[in-house]
């Protein structure tokens, strides 16, 4: 028979679905700001393999000549991003939910198995709780990155008043570089996340919205337990 | 078992219960999405030709209050650098400097708070203690260049030529042609590293960098660091500000 199983807490779902549009606004307004001074690239010496960003990308996104709007959006929505993120971390710590999320000493070995399995190697999946080892590592890293984005962002925003923070992050230029690559990390995470969610199927997605899924339980086991 | 499972909490089967929860949650997600899109459309509808929406401007005002009451201190000095770190600063912005300036005939209009206006010469400003700093000059665009400046502290200038004007809320400055103008909150103006500069990188200030006198405030983005000052006024009313009118944060503090 089937029973309802709670997959995600109400609070977790709210934090997640609020964060998605807010982080999108932060990334897009960040792009508007970055356009005004866009020095980063992948390359060595005089050879540039990829410049962030090519003209076609700015044309596609309409990011050119929008610095003032970008800064305003960024410094308005940063509040919501920070408050939602801090509330999530506090909730996770206080409720004990962090135990389902934080990686343990087996996670890195198991995550390698999960990754091998996911790309098609005949490796059995290790036993897992709510999240598998790869998810534990990735989701914890994303939360950590959120905190770092906040710190590097503040270091770029107020390098004079928060000079100690800017200095601790390597200075103004480095803090901006770190802030940029953290954002690239979110974009990379997002692409993989979407692919994995699509693969996991509808029931998994529905559980992130409504919190529940059906679970098949063994009748005999249930009866035995009941006795 | 089946009877127990149905009767314990809910008259619904697990499938029905899931469908009910799912329907409710997706409706909430849909309502949230509609609300977010409506909010974005509302903000977008306030966009002016130049300025940002007033709703965003209001939060920038909140940010300014938070920074001014909790973070800002005139004891927070920006980092200074050795002479070897000085880079090549580019000329970025020539508004109000279309015509070449006649340095010999230049004079500064000064309007203190509550006392009569007067005119000063470059010699008056150079009579104040000369202060030198090598700081990272930061453009609102995101780049920065380590640059050496020398001049008089705006706090010394105020104390000598406009005593009592420290009580004003703002300093307003503009170019002789009135094409470029800035408003600066008084605490930032009186910061010990805020200079009326007449030298840059060891030489008299060049014309295109704002000769004969420019503002250098390392606690503000370059947009506030007006070149070729023609008039300084102390005022309690928030002065007009060129780039704030183009949608930038009025405070623009670092």
Residue-level pLDDT at A226: 40
Q: Over 50: is that where the pLDDT of B34 sits?
A: yes
A208 in reach of chain B (CB within 8 A) = no
Looking at the fold, whether B79 and B9 belong to one and the same domain comes out as: no
Q: How confident is the model over B209-230, as a mean pLDDT? A: 94
Domain count, chain B: 2
Q: How confident is the model over A90-104, as a mean pLDDT? A: 89
Query: Do A67 and B140 touch, CB atoms closer than 8 A?
Result: yes
Span of A50-54, A100-104, B23-27, B210-214 with lowest mean pLDDT: A100-104
Span of A17-31, A99-113, A210-224 with lowest mean pLDDT: A210-224
Q: Does the beta-carbon distance from A160 to B249 stay under 8 Å?
A: no
| Highest mean pLDDT out of A95-99, B15-19, B169-173 | B169-173
Q: How confident is the model over B92-112, as a mean pLDDT? A: 86
> Nearest residue of A to residue B61 by CA position?
A76
Looking at the fold, whether B40 and B76 belong to one and the same domain comes out as: no
Q: Classify residue B80 by its DSSP letter.
A: B
Angle of the A67-95 helix axis to the B54-66 helix axis, nearest 10: 60
Q: Which of B13, B22, B225 to mutate to test the interface with A (most CBs of A within 10 A)?
A: B22
- Of A34, A69, A172, Cβ closest to residue B144: A172
- Of B22, B47, B143, Cβ closest to residue A210: B22
Closest approach of B227 to chain A, Cα-based (Å): 21
Identify whether B250 is part of a domain.
no
CB burial of B132-149 (b: ≥16 within 10 Å; e: otherwise) equals ebbbbbbbbbbbbbbbbb
Q: Which among A203, A205, A206, A216 has a CA at the least distance from the CA of B14?
A: A216
Backbone torsions φ then ψ of A77, nearest 5 degrees:
-75, -15
Q: How confident is the model over B233-237, as a mean pLDDT? A: 96
- Of A75, A167, A206, Cβ closest to residue B63: A75
Q: How far apart are CA A52 and CA A48, in angstroms?
A: 10
Is the Cα torsion angle A152, B244, B210, B151 positive or negative in sign?
negative
Q: Over 50: is that where the pLDDT of B6 sits?
A: no
3-state secondary structure of B162: coil
pLDDT band at residue A221 under the 50/70/90 scheme:
low
Identify whether B96 is part of a domain.
no
Tens of pLDDT, residues A81-95: 999 999 999 999 999
Tens of pLDDT, residues B151-177: 999 999 999 999 999 999 999 999 999
3-state secondary structure of B147: strand
Whole-prediction pTM: 0.89
Q: Over 60: is that where the pLDDT of A139 sits?
A: yes
The DSSP H or E segment spanning A9 is: none
Angle of the A202-210 helix axis to the A10-35 helix axis, nearest 10: 100
A163 in reach of chain B (CB within 8 A) = yes
Q: How far apart are CA A85 and CA A150, in angstroms?
A: 10
Tens of pLDDT, residues B127-139: 999 999 999 999 9
Tens of pLDDT, residues A146-181: 999 999 999 999 999 999 999 999 999 999 999 999
> Nearest residue of A to residue B220 by CA position?
A160
* pLDDT > 90 in chain A, percent: 67
Q: Over 90: is that where the pLDDT of B197 sits?
A: yes
CATH assignment of the domain containing B181: 3.90.420.10
Find the distance separating the first CA and the last CA of chain A, reported in whole Å.
18
Residue-level pLDDT at B160: 95
- Helix-strand-coil split of chain A, %, nearest 5: 70, 10, 25
3-state secondary structure of B144: strand
Identify whether B241 is part of a domain.
no
Residue-level pLDDT at A227: 42
Looking at the fold, whether B85 and B198 belong to one and the same domain comes out as: yes
- Of A73, A158, A212, Cβ closest to residue B21: A212
Q: Does the beta-carbon distance from B1 to A219 stay under 8 Å?
A: yes
- Of B36, B60, B139, Cβ closest to residue A72: B60
Q: Does the beta-carbon distance from A68 to B25 stay under 8 Å?
A: no
Q: Is the ipTM of this complex over 0.85?
A: yes
Chain A residues close to B65, C-beta within 8 Å: none
Q: How far apart are CA A108 and CA B65, in angstroms?
A: 46
Residue-level pLDDT at A2: 87
Q: How far apart are CA B203 and CA B163, in angstroms?
A: 30
Q: Is A88 exposed, middle or buried (0-12, 13-18, 19+ CB in 10 A)?
A: buried
Kindly report the number of other CB atoms within 10 A of residue A139's CB atom: 17
Q: How confident is the model over B47-55, as a mean pLDDT? A: 86
Looking at the fold, whether B124 and B14 belong to one and the same domain comes out as: no
Q: Does the beta-carbon distance from A160 to B78 stay under 8 Å?
A: yes
> Nearest residue of B to residue A17 by CA position?
B29
Domains of chain A (ranges; CATH) run 2-226 (1.20.950.20)
Q: Which of A35, A72, A84, A178 to mutate to test the interface with B (most CBs of B within 10 A)?
A: A72
When computed from its CA atoms, the radius of gyration of chain A, rounded to whole angstroms, is 21
Work out the mean pLDDT of chain B and round it to a whole number: 91
Query: Do B149 and B211 touch, CB atoms closer than 8 A?
Result: no
Q: Does the beta-carbon distance from A210 to B71 stay under 8 Å?
A: no
What is the residue whose two structure tokens read 């002789």? B176
Looking at the fold, whether B151 and B204 belong to one and the same domain comes out as: yes
Q: Over 50: is that where the pLDDT of A39 sits?
A: yes
Looking at the fold, whether B78 and B129 belong to one and the same domain comes out as: yes
Range of the domain at B20: 2-45
Identify whether B244 is part of a domain.
no
Query: Do B3 and B13 touch, CB atoms closer than 8 A?
Result: no
Residue-level pLDDT at B202: 92
Looking at the fold, whether B183 and B228 belong to one and the same domain comes out as: yes
Q: How far apart are CA B157 and CA B125, in angstroms?
A: 7
A221 in reach of chain B (CB within 8 A) = no
Residue-level pLDDT at B10: 56
Q: Which of A154, A155, A159, A160 to mutate to test the interface with B (most CBs of B within 10 A)?
A: A160
73-102 in chain A: CB under 8 A from chain B: 73, 75-76, 79
Looking at the fold, whether B84 and B174 belong to one and the same domain comes out as: yes
Identify whether B97 is part of a domain.
no
| Rounded alpha-carbon distances, angstroms, from residue B217 to A160, B214, B231 | 11, 10, 17
Q: How far apart are CA A111 and CA A134, in angstroms?
A: 4
Looking at the fold, whether B170 and B230 belong to one and the same domain comes out as: yes
pLDDT band at residue B120 under the 50/70/90 scheme:
very high
Chain A residues close to B251, C-beta within 8 Å: none
Looking at the fold, whether B147 and B200 belong to one and the same domain comes out as: yes
Looking at the fold, whether B64 and B38 belong to one and the same domain comes out as: no
Looking at the fold, whether B164 and B203 belong to one and the same domain comes out as: yes
Residue-level pLDDT at A112: 85
Q: How confident is the model over B42-46, as a mean pLDDT? A: 89
Closest approach of B17 to chain A, Cα-based (Å): 8
3-state secondary structure of B250: coil
Chain B residues close to A214, C-beta within 8 Å: 14-15, 18
Q: Does the beta-carbon distance from A167 to B79 stay under 8 Å?
A: yes
- Of B15, B77, B143, Cβ closest to residue A214: B15
Query: Do B191 and B171 touch, CB atoms closer than 8 A?
Result: no
Q: How far apart are CA A24 and CA A36, in angstroms?
A: 19
Q: Over 60: is that where the pLDDT of B2 sits?
A: no
Q: Classify residue B182 by its DSSP letter.
A: E
């Amino acid at each position: 028979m089937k029973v309802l199983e709670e997959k995600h807490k109400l609070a977790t779902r709210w934090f997640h679905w609020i964060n998605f549009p807010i982080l999108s606004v932060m990334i897009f307004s960040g792009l508007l700001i970055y356009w005004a001074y866009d020095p980063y690239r992948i390359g060595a010496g005089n050879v540039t393999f990829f410049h962030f960003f090519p003209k076609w990308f700015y044309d596609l996104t309409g990011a050119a000549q929008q610095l003032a709007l970008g800064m305003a959006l960024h410094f308005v929505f940063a509040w919501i991003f920070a408050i939602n993120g801090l509330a999530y971390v506090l909730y996770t710590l206080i409720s004990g939910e962090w135990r389902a999320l934080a990686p343990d000493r087996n996670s890195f070995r198991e995550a390698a198995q999960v990754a091998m399995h996911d790309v098609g190697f005949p490796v059995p999946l290790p036993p897992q709780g709510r999240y598998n080892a790869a998810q534990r590592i990735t989701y914890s890293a994303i939360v950590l990155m959120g905190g770092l984005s906040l710190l590097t962002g503040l270091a770029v925003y107020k390098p004079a008043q928060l000079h100690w923070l800017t200095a601790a992050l390597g200075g103004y230029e480095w803090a901006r570089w770190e802030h940029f690559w953290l954002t690239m990390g979110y974009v990379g995470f997002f692409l993989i996340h979407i692919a994995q969610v699509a693969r996991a199927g509808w029931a998994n997605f529905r559980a992130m919205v409504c919190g529940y899924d059906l679970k098949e339980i063994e009748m005999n086991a249930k009866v035995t337990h009941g006795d | 078992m089946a009877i127990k499972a149905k009767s314990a909490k809910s008259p619904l089967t697990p499938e029905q219960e899931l469908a009910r929860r799912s329907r409710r949650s997706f409706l909430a997600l849909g309502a949230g999405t509609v609300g977010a899109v409506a909010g974005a459309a509302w903000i977008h509808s306030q966009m002016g030709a130049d300025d940002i929406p007033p709703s965003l401007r209001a939060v920038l005002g909140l940010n300014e209050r938070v920074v001014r009451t909790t973070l800002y201190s005139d004891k927070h000095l920006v980092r200074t650098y050795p002479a070897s770190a000085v880079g090549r600063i580019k000329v970025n912005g020539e508004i109000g400097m279309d015509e070449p300036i006649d340095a010999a005939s230049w004079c500064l209009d000064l309007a203190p708070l509550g006392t009569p206006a007067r005119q000063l010469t470059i010699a008056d400003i150079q009579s104040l203690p000369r202060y030198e700093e090598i700081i990272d000059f930061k453009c609102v665009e995101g780049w920065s260049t380590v640059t050496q400046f020398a001049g008089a502290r705006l706090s010394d200038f105020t104390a000598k030529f406009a005593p009592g004007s420290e009580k004003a809320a703002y300093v307003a400055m503009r170019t002789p042609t009135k094409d470029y103008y800035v408003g600066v909150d008084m605490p930032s103006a009186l910061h010990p590293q805020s200079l009326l500069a007449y030298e840059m990188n060891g030489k008299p200030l060049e014309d295109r960098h704002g000769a004969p006198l420019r503002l250098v405030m390392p606690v503000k983005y370059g947009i506030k660091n007006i070149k070729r000052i023609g008039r300084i006024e102390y005022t309690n009313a928030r002065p007009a500000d060129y780039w704030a009118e183009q949608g930038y944060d009025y405070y623009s503090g670092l």
